[in-house]
C-alpha cells in the first residue's frame, strides 16, 4: 500500500469505532495502527509466477467453511492479523483468540469492525484452530457477497496430503496402496489448483473433492506414504492427469465419460478389477419404501408425485444403470441414475450398479461396489498391494497410459 493510503486507513478505523460500540460485550481486541514498516511493499512490477519445478513448496487453498456467519480462531501464540488485500497489519497487541463475524460494514473481529472484504490470520507455530479444530498453514477469510464469509485454509501441498490420505484410505492398509492413494490425491489436488486458478480456493473438504480434516487426521503410516512419494504425480501427454478415485468398483471400473460427461480421456477408461472382493461393499442390498423415494426425489427437484413402479431403462457398457424409468399410471418419466443415487443418498444407494426388485411396499436394490467407479478403486489397490504389487503398478492399472513423474516439467501449465 502507498503512503498516501494511511490517512484513509486511519479514517476507516475511526469510522469503525461507533459501529464496534454496538457490539455485544466481548474480550477487547488489541487493535492499533501498525507502524509503516509492517506494510508489505508493493512490487515495482508484476512478479512472474514461478514454474512448477518442485511440488514440495506449493500451497493449496482449501475452502474449509463455506457461507459462515461466525467462527472462532485460535493459535499457539500471538496471532498475526492482516488485510489480505494490502498486507496492512491490523493488530499489534497480544491476540491468541478471536471471534470473527460478517458485518454489513465489513468484517467484525471481536468488538471491532474493519471495512475490508478479506483478512488473513496466521499463528507463529504454523498451526491454527478453527472452532477448536487444528489445521496447518494460515487462513484467509473472504466476504462472499452473500451476507456470509468463506474460510479458506492455505496449506502446503504435502501437509495437505498428510490429512487427505489418512482420511481417504484406512491407515492400516499396505503402504503400497497408501502410496498409490498419495500420488492420486496429489495429482487431483494439482489438477484442481490449475482448474480453479481464477477463484480464491482450489478445493473443498468433502467427497466432492477430497476429504480433509486437518492435523487430527495425520498418522505416521500415511505420513510415510506421502513422504515416500514426495513430488510424484501422474501425467498424461505431459499434462496433469485428472485422477478420480472411489471406494470399490465391484469387478470393473467405469468409463469416465459416463459419470463426468466432459471427461473422455484414455486413462479413465473402464478396466477389469479382480482385487476388490474383500470389500464389505463388494455386494450390498438396500430396502426402501416407495414413499421415501418419492420424498427424496421431490426434495431434489427430480420428480414430484406418486410413483407406481421403478425400472432400469438402460445401462452403461459396464453394467451400471444409466437412466431409471418412473411410472405413474400411464405416465413414464426418465431420471438420470447418478442424480437418483444422490437424491436417495450415496451412502445408502452405494453405486449405480444395481438391480431393482419389488417386495410388497418395499423396493429392494441389490448392487455391487461403492462410489462412482471411475479411476482408482481403493479396495482394488489394497488387494493389489496384498498381492505384492507396487504403487506404480497399481496406478498403471487404474490410470492406463498415465505415467508417474517425479517433478513437474516447466511445460506443464500452472
Give the 3-state secondary structure of residue 394: helix
Return d(Cα 141, Cα 139) in angstroms, integer.
6
Can you give the pLDDT at residue 54?
52
Enumerate the H helices of 22-105 as residue ranges. Answer: none
Mean pLDDT per 10-residue section of the chain, whose length is 414 residues: 39 34 36 34 36 64 93 92 93 88 90 92 95 96 90 96 97 98 97 88 88 95 96 94 97 96 92 96 97 97 94 96 95 96 97 95 96 98 98 98 75 40
Enumerate the H helices of 130-252 as residue ranges. Answer: 157-168, 175-195, 220-228
Beta pairing partners, 323: 314, 336
Can you give the pLDDT at residue 234?
97
**Separation of first and last alpha carbons in the chain:** 27
CA distances from 17 to 21, 111, 112, 114, 383 (A): 6, 9, 7, 9, 63
Find out whether 138 and 123 touch, Cβ atoms under 8 Å.
yes
Which cell numbers in the block locate residue 289?
419404501
pTM: 0.83
Can you give the pLDDT at residue 56?
59
- The domain spans of the chain are 9-41+70-147, 158-277+373-405, 283-368
Can you give the pLDDT at residue 36?
31
Amino acid at each position: 500500500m502507498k503512503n498516501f493510503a494511511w490517512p484513509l486507513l486511519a479514517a476507516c478505523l475511526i469510522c469503525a469505532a461507533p459501529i464496534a460500540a454496538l457490539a455485544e460485550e466481548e474480550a477487547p481486541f488489541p487493535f492499533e495502527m501498525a507502524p509503516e514498516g509492517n506494510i508489505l511493499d508493493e512490487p515495482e512490477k508484476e512478479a512472474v509466477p514461478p514454474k512448477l519445478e518442485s511440488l514440495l513448496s506449493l500451497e493449496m487453498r482449501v475452502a474449509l467453511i463455506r457461507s459462515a456467519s461466525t467462527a472462532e480462531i485460535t493459535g499457539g501464540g500471538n496471532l498475526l492479523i492482516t488485510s489480505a488485500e494490502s498486507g496492512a497489519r491490523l493488530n499489534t497487541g497480544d491476540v491468541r483468540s478471536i471471534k470473527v463475524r460478517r458485518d454489513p460494514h465489513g468484517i467484525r473481529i471481536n468488538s471491532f469492525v474493519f471495512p475490508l472484504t478479506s483478512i488473513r490470520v496466521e499463528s507463529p507455530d504454523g498451526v491454527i484452530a478453527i472452532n477448536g479444530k487444528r489445521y496447518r498453514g494460515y487462513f484467509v477469510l473472504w466476504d462472499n457477497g452473500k451476507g456470509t464469509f468463506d474460510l479458506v485454509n492455505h496449506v502446503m501441498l504435502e501437509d495437505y496430503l498428510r490429512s487427505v490420505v489418512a482420511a481417504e484410505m484406512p491407515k492400516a492398509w499396505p503402504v503400497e496402496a497408501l502410496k498409490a492413494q498419495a500420488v492420486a490425491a496429489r495429482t487431483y489436488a494439482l489438477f484442481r489448483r490449475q482448474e480453479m486458478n481464477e477463484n480464491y480456493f482450489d478445493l473443498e473438504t468433502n467427497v466432492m473433492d477430497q476429504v480433509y480434516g486437518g492435523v487430527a487426521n495425520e498418522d505416521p503410516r500415511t505420513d510415510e506414504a506421502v513422504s515416500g512419494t514426495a513430488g510424484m504425480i501422474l501425467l498424461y501427454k505431459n499434462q496433469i492427469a485428472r485422477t478420480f478415485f472411489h471406494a470399490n468398483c465391484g469387478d470393473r471400473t467405469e468409463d469416465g465419460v459416463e459419470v463426468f460427461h466432459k471427461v473422455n480421456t484414455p486413462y479413465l477408461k473402464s478396466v477389469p478389477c479382480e482385487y476388490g472382493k474383500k470389500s464389505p461393499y463388494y455386494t450390498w442390498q438396500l430396502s426402501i419404501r416407495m414413499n421415501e423415494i418419492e420424498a427424496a426425489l421431490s426434495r431434489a427437484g427430480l420428480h414430484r408425485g406418486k410413483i407406481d413402479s421403478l425400472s432400469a431403462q438402460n445401462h452403461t457398457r459396464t453394467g451400471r444403470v444409466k437412466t431409471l424409468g418412473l411410472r405413474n399410471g400411464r405416465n413414464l418419466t426418465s431420471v438420470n441414475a447418478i442424480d437418483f443415487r444422490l437424491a436417495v443418498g450415496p451412502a445408502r444407494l452405494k453405486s449405480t450398479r444395481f438391480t431393482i426388485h419389488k417386495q410388497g411396499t418395499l423396493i429392494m436394490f441389490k448392487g455391487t461396489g461403492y462410489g462412482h467407479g471411475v479411476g482408482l478403486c481403493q479396495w482394488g489397490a489394497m488387494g493389489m498391494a496384498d498381492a505384492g504389487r507396487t504403487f506404480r503398478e497399481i496406478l498403471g492399472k487404474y490410470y492406463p497410459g498415465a505415467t508417474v513423474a517425479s517433478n513437474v516439467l516447466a511445460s506443464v501449465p500452472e
